[in-house]
Structure 1
Amino acid sequence: MNENLFASFITPTMMGLPIVVLIIMFPSMFMLTSKRVLTNRLVALQLWLTKLTLKQMMMTHSMKARTWSLMLISLIMFIGSTNLLGLLPHTFTPTTQLSMNLSMAIPLWAGTVILGFRHKTKASLAHFLPQGTPIALIPMLIIIETISLFIQPMALAVRLTANITAGHLLIHLIGGATLALTSISMTVASISFIILILLTILEIAVALIQAYVFTLLVSLYLHDNT
């Protein structure tokens, strides 16, 4: 029987119950904090990276937008840890599920939009109709801008899902090819194995970059509405 390529993306169950919640909570056990361990170089490095990332995202924001700092830094750490979780053997990557990514993207996007309409009502409504638009094009532009606004959370979720799923599928395919080639040609299998190692390193970088991109886009939506 041929193995289903998408079997690793099926939500695992235990006694008929999905255990995705336990999987999502698993990476938080390895987050180093000063309450769990004494301050050391690893904790200092983690704090330095956290402050550097937060500074890059929030330095152009207003004071009102900076109140989202804790939520945004928690979001990037959560997405990054769950992305990296799927690179371990016999594990499951929650961020390959579009439903989970939508459940993160929609509330965050809706929060920024509601914040904009509450505090910058005129500026938010002005985005639907650029200045100097011909009268004949006003209805069409309003429809286009409305669609582009509502497509933002979908774009956030699909981008994250597609990038993580594509990388995991490629690793799965090359790993299967490497095992099959070991009985045919060790030279070709060795080359394939080296490619697999390089691809895994690339996927680690992609997992962290996609977490940063997701959070940065939410930060940009927040900047436009505050």
Structure 2
Amino acid sequence: MDMDLFSQFTSPILFGVPLWVIAMTYPVYCLPNTLQNTVKPRLTTALMWTLLQAMMQIMLKISATAQKWVVILTSTVTLLLLYNLFGTLPYVYPPTTQLSIAFGLAFPLWLGTLVKGVKLSVTNTLAHFLPPSTPAALVPVLVIIETTSMLVRPVALGMRLAANLTSGHMIMHAVSSVSLVLIQSASLSAALSLTLLGALTCLEMAIAGIQAYVFVLLTTLYLQENT
């Protein structure tokens, strides 16, 4: 039995090709093909309706300028949801647990909102670094604090996504390892551990959706602040 909890997040290599490439591209093929005039399955219809309602709630309170990002944000929440749910399968890790991938998603979106704000109004963007009615003695300190807070945003955005998924996956790995040992004894403990594993899997699927929603929601807040 593998006792290293972090080894599950190491991307294996097959014929010299890292399998994280397949893990990143395969969920895309799970998306429904809207170009074909066919009747969509009920599950696909339910998922698309849920995604539509979530995006309507996210985009409801932002400006008309920010709503132009609806395609980017909808694509992001869809891909994040697929990547996160893909990681709940046995012997599969979610690609978003890798900090390089999480930061690779967070940094361009954060930088895009910042560039958008500078493009629309440099004055309003710089005004966020200094709250109104600030005493002159506190101006240098507050500018440093606000600048640091601004630069930390992409790090916190990516770290939140990766840390929450990593912790849940580690717990599932530990419980599944214990269940594998207990199931050989066919005791009550094995049944309880399998029940716990099923409950954790359902919880992890819920967390996968919540983290995708929170990631896009925070990006929307950054966008709203700069527009």
For 1:174 and 1:37, the matched residues in 2 are separated by: 44
For 1:82 and 1:163, the matched residues in 2 are separated by: 14
Matches within 5 A, 1:24-173: 24-36=24-36, 38-40=38-40, 42=42, 43-173=44-174
SS in 2 for 1:60: coil
Q: Deviations over 1:57-94 (max 9, x none)?
A: 11112221111101101100100100111111122311
Q: 4+ residue stretches of structure 1 with deviation over 4 A?
A: none
TM-score by length of 1: 0.94
Letter in 2 for 1:29: Y
Q: Deviations over 1:133-156 (max 9, x none)?
A: 111111111000000000000000
Query: Residue 88 and residue 41 in structure 1: after superposition, are their counterparts in 2 closer, same or farther (change >3 A)?
Result: closer
For 2:91 and 2:195, the matched residues in 1 are separated by: 21
1:9 to 2:9 alignment: yes
- In structure 2, the partner of 1:193 is 194
Report if aligned partners of 1:12, 1:92 keep a CA contact under 8 Å in 2.
no
For 2:37 and 2:9, the matched residues in 1 are separated by: 35
For 1:84 and 1:173, the matched residues in 2 are separated by: 19
For 2:213 and 2:2, the matched residues in 1 are separated by: 36
RMSD: 1.6
Q: Percent identity?
A: 38
For 1:108 and 1:7, the matched residues in 2 are separated by: 30
Report if aligned partners of 1:102, 1:154 keep a CA contact under 8 Å in 2.
yes
Task: Structure 2 unaligned segments of length 5 or more: list them.
Answer: none
For 2:50 and 2:2, the matched residues in 1 are separated by: 44
Report if aligned partners of 1:9, 1:96 keep a CA contact under 8 Å in 2.
yes
For 2:193 and 2:51, the matched residues in 1 are separated by: 36
Letter in 1 for 2:78: M
For 1:182 and 1:51, the matched residues in 2 are separated by: 42
SS in 2 for 1:6: helix
Letter in 2 for 1:31: L
In the comparison of the two structures, how many residue pairs are matched?
226
For 1:50 and 1:199, the matched residues in 2 are separated by: 23
Query: Residue 2 and residue 85 in structure 1: after superposition, are their counterparts in 2 closer, same or farther (change >3 A)?
Result: closer
Letter in 1 for 2:8: S
Task: Structure 1 unaligned segments of length 5 or more: list them.
Answer: none
1:217 to 2:218 alignment: yes
1:18 to 2:22 alignment: no
